[in-house]
Amino acid sequence: MEYFLHLAILFSIFAILAISLQLIVGYTGLLSVAHAGFYGIGAYIVALLLKNAGMNFFPALLLGALGSMLVAFLIGIVLSRFRDDYYALGSLGFGVIAFSILLNWQELTRGPLGIPGIPRPELFGFEFSSNLSYLLLSFILLGAVYAFSRFLTLSSFGRALQAIREDEEALSVFGYRTSWFKLAVFVIGAGMAGIAGGLFASYITYIDPGSFNVTESIFILSLIILGGLGSLRGAVVGALVLILLPEALRFVGFTPDIAAQMRQVVYGVLLIVLMLYRPQGLMGKYKL
């Protein structure tokens, strides 16, 4: 039972990440590979505030999201002026820089040693110590993120984002400052990634830079490619499939080392098949 609760918690965390990246890539058409950086910033802010400052989880989570949004605002001012491949390369550069800072700023992050002993959330004297209670918390946050994202995509703001994806120049002709829309969605997505990072840090109770490298950004991107671009439900389905699929390898009989390598092979083969036969993903509206 605890094993399935663990998988469900991981699914909820990565579903939040997938939804947040879906707003940037799926709806706006901005190919970002920086998401693990914001995920890591949120995780480290929450971990440091919980362990070193003794702050309650919920205000720490809010500050983690705000910290990710602040960094995204500063980076996004530059990225929002770029398009297509240049945007992707710029976001990749930030992802590498963020990982390097987490790895080398040892006075703050403890570098490769990571931060152990991160406490679980507590609310009015109730501690979310069991996986069942933590699953409830993570599902509530996932539902809130999904509801907000759906409201956003159905609003005039969301229609402007989709117009940027279809033809940014045409939207500019009508007087829209597309760079501000791109900056806004980048910041919103980063804030949601910060929430996922805080949840992850408090659940695992230990974080290190290896969980927030560029490879992790590519994995998050593969969630929405599999689920389908431009679909919030597709992002959730993609997270569900790619969280559960590797676990099936445990029952095939591979040793742990081989199973870890096979997981990467399965991801690669799955993405190649999708690009060949269903480039819009399982539930998507657009092609990458």
Please state the rounded mean pLDDT for residues 84-95. 86
pLDDT in tens, 208-243: 998 898 888 888 988 898 888 888 998 999 899 888
Domain ranges of the chain: 2-213
At CB < 8 A and 24+ separation, what contacts does 116-119 make?
116/205, 116/206, 117/51, 117/205, 117/206, 118/46, 118/47, 118/50, 118/51, 118/201, 118/202, 118/204, 118/205, 118/206, 118/207, 119/50, 119/51, 119/57, 119/202, 119/205
CA-wise closest residue to 40 among 19, 17, 24, 11 = 17
Give the span between the Cα atoms of 288 and 284, in whole angstroms. Answer: 10
pLDDT in tens, 244-282: 877 766 666 666 666 666 666 777 777 787 777 777 777
CA-wise closest residue to 91 among 76, 102, 81 = 76
Give the span between the Cα atoms of 159 and 178, in whole angstroms. Answer: 12
Give the span between the Cα atoms of 229 and 143, in whole angstroms. Answer: 20
Altogether, the residues listed in the chain come to a count of 288
Triad 14, 18, 2: Cα angle to 5°: 20
Q: What was the pLDDT predicted at 287?
A: 64
Of 110-124, 163-177, 245-259, which has the strongest mean pLDDT? Answer: 110-124
Give the span between the Cα atoms of 247 and 260, in whole angstroms. Answer: 10
Concatenated DSSP letters of 35-82: HHHHHHHHHHHHHHHHHTS---HHHHHHHHHHHHHHHHHHHHHHHTT-
Q: What was the pLDDT predicted at 253?
A: 62
Q: Which two tokens stand for residue 126?
A: 């109730």
Q: Give the SS3 label for residue 189.
A: helix
Q: Which of 43-52, 69-78, 248-257 has the lowest mean pLDDT?
A: 248-257
**Which of residues 42 and 278 earns the better pLDDT score?**
42
Give the span between the Cα atoms of 45 and 102, in whole angstroms. Answer: 11
Of 95-104, 107-116, 144-153, which has the strongest mean pLDDT? Answer: 144-153
Q: In the chain, at which residue ranges do the beta strands (DSSP E only) sit?
A: 122-123, 126-127
